[in-house]
Each structure stands twice: as C-alpha cells, then as structure tokens.
Amino acid sequence: MTTVHRLLDAAFAGVEPSPEVQDLKEEIRANLEARAAELQAGGATPDHAARRAFDELGDLSALVDDAAGSPRPGRAAGGTAPVGYVSTAEAVLANKVRPRPRFVLGVVIAALLFVALVVVAGLGAAGVLTLPPIATAGILLTASSAVGFVVGSSLSRETTTNHPVPSRRAGGYYLATGLALFGVLLAIFTAFGTFEPWVYAVAGALGIAGGLAFVGLGVTQTNRKKAWFREVAREHGAVGDRFDRDPDAAARFGIFTTVIWTTSFVVFAVLGFAVGWAWSWLALVGGWIVFMLLLAKMLFGERKDDDTDSPRH
C-alpha cells in the first residue's frame, strides 16, 4: 500500500502534527487500505486501486484543515493548492513526523538488550561466567536479532522525509542485519577461544549471506522520498547526501562493502590458521580502513558528477 501512504502524505502536507490530525490520518489510511484491497480483489492493480480509492474520498482539504484548526502553511484558505515553501527549514517543520513513544521505547529496550547480552557473553568468554558454547551462540543470536529489530522497525516507520518501507521488505532488512551481525560476533568470540576454529567458516557464510541480502535489498529499493521533499529538492537544490540523490551509488556501495568484508574475513581466517590468531585481527583492521575510505569517496567524491544529478522519482 505504498501508493496509499504517498497520496495520504501529500494530502496532509504542511499540517502541524497533533493527536487529532494523527487520528484522522490513521482513520483515513485504514479506510483507504480497506477500499483498495476490495478493488484489488476485483482485479485492479495495487497502484490503480489506491488512486481510485483516494479519488472516491473527494477533496480532503477542508477536512484536514478542520482537524488542524487552521489552514496549513503554504495553502490558502478554502483548500487551494500549495504555493511552495520559502525554505527547506520551513518545509521540514511543516511536515515533521514525530516518532511514536511505543516505537522509541521498543528501540531503547532492544538496544539495552543487545548491550546486556553481549556483556554476558563477554563474561562467559573471560571465564567469569560458566557458559557452554551453545549457550553463548544462543545469546549472540538473540543480541543480533535485537539489532535487526531496531533496523527493521525503524525502516517500517514513517519519517519526516521518507515513506515507510513495506513490512515484508523491512523484515528482509531485519534478517540481513541479524545474519551479518551474528557472523561478526561469532568470528570475534571464536578469536577469543569461545568456539572451535571451524566456526570461522560458519561466521563467514553468515556474513556473506547478510551482505548479499543487503545488496539485493539496496538494488531493488525504490524511492521512498515524500512529495514535499522532492518539491524542496527541485525548488531549493539537492537535499540529502549522495546516496539519497543517486540510488546507483548506494547500490555500488553495497556491493563494494560486501566484497571488502568478505575478503577481510577470508584473509582473517587464512592468517589465523597459517600465521597465528595473534596477527589475524590485522585483516579486520585493514578491512575497516578500506571501508571508511570507500565511504568517504562515495559520499564526498565526484562532486562534479553530483552537481549535474537530478532527483530521481
């Protein structure tokens, strides 16, 4: 129902968020999604169903302005079309979406859980606690899932500038994050002697799987920017970093990142078995250095090319 989200956000553009406005928006969203589902069941495409359901509601301007208590910024009384924003700051303030308390609480709890579980696993690795390897692996898997939850839940939420990612795709990011992080944690704890050396192979496989999942999700990700954000980009120049303006650059970055860390883990394992684990960690340090140089190059390099980029829709 991405089209429903975008049409509804356009209708509410410029409205100062309030409990009344949010309740109205969610009520309309539920009605639109239900009607669009009916139309899809009748054979309409998702996009056509969403637009037809929205058109059936008629002009929402008066209803939205009534919930807001006054005409929104950039819109004349009576519900005429937006006249544009004077500045980017004005546009951001007019369209600001505040995180819901339940979401913030969930993220905080997940972050605290991750820290606590890693500390417990670390105490086990140090011999302070007696933990069998299988228990340590379970703790690390749970910790990785907590971080995956933060990533997936964050992407599934509407933000000031972005539409929410569909729940299935957000679940993909959750899985990719969990796999990649679990592989990294297994490799780290194997280096400290918690697991047998063969676990490096498992860690590498998990890391590669997570990296490939990120690449696939990044390459197939569509533009999530809201209509007001694209309007500001057209009127006031490019907004956001290079990844926002150039999806191809984001895809290349994901592929390069996967290659860098896959190579780093392979070299890490080879050095560990051939030279000794005391020096194998240098491979991970080298991978981190290359990764940061790549990030700097992707974000701040090729300025001339960026100047000619136009926002993609």
Whether residue 61 is predicted with pLDDT greater than 70 in this model: the reply is no
Judgement on whether residues 53 and 109 belong to the same structural domain of the protein: no
Tell me the residue length of the chain.
313
DSSP 72: P
Query: 124-133, 173-182, 202-211, 244-253: lowest mean pLDDT where?
Result: 244-253
Judgement on whether residues 167 and 202 belong to the same structural domain of the protein: yes
What's residue 262's pLDDT? 78
Give the chain's domain count.
2
State the Cα–Cα distance between residues 2 and 212, nearest whole angstrom.
25
State the Cα–Cα distance between residues 12 and 26, nearest whole angstrom.
11
- Flag whether 246 is in a domain: yes
Final residue before a domain boundary, out of 83, 117, 149: 83
The pair of structure tokens assigned to 51 is 């637009």
Residue 63's pLDDT band (cuts 50, 70, 90):
low
pTM: 0.60
Task: Name the residue range of residue 110's domain.
Answer: 101-307
Whether residue 83 is predicted with pLDDT greater than 60 in this model: the reply is no
- Flag whether 199 is in a domain: yes
Q: Read off the pLDDT of each residue in 110-135 and give the average, rounded to a whole number.
A: 91
Judgement on whether residues 128 and 235 belong to the same structural domain of the protein: yes
Question: Which residues are paired to 82 by β-bridges?
Answer: 75
Q: What is the pLDDT of residues 4-59, one digit of tens each?
A: 777 777 777 666 667 777 777 777 778 888 888 888 888 877 777 777 777 776 65
Whether residue 252 is predicted with pLDDT greater than 80 in this model: the reply is no
State the Cα–Cα distance between residues 59 and 65, nearest whole angstrom.
11
- Flag whether 94 is in a domain: no
Judgement on whether residues 121 and 32 belong to the same structural domain of the protein: no
What's residue 22's pLDDT? 74
Q: Cβ neighbours of residue 122 under 8 Å, at least 6 residues apart?
A: none
What's residue 306's pLDDT? 44
State the Cα–Cα distance between residues 103 and 154, nearest whole angstrom.
8
Q: Read off the pLDDT of each residue in 193-197 and give the average, rounded to a whole number.
A: 88
Whether residue 121 is predicted with pLDDT greater than 80 in this model: the reply is yes
Please provide the average confidence, as pLDDT, over all residues in the chain: 76
Pick the more confident residue, 285 or 206: 206
Cβ 161 vs Cβ 225: under 8 Å: yes
Pick the more confident residue, 164 or 106: 106
Q: Which residue pairs, CB below 8 angstroms and at least 24 apart, start in 234-242?
A: 234/311, 235/84, 235/85, 236/85, 236/87, 236/88, 238/306, 238/309, 238/311, 239/88, 240/161, 241/299, 242/298, 242/299, 242/300, 242/306
Q: Read off the pLDDT of each residue in 257-280 and give the average, rounded to a whole number.
A: 77
Measured in whole angstroms, how far is the alpha carbon of residue 5 from the centre of its chain?
17
Alpha helices in 42-100 (DSSP H): 46-57, 61-68, 88-94
State the Cα–Cα distance between residues 87 and 93, nearest whole angstrom.
10
Q: Read off the pLDDT of each residue in 248-256 and give the average, rounded to a whole number.
A: 74
State the Cα–Cα distance between residues 26 and 18, nearest whole angstrom.
12
What's residue 17's pLDDT? 65
- Flag whether 212 is in a domain: yes
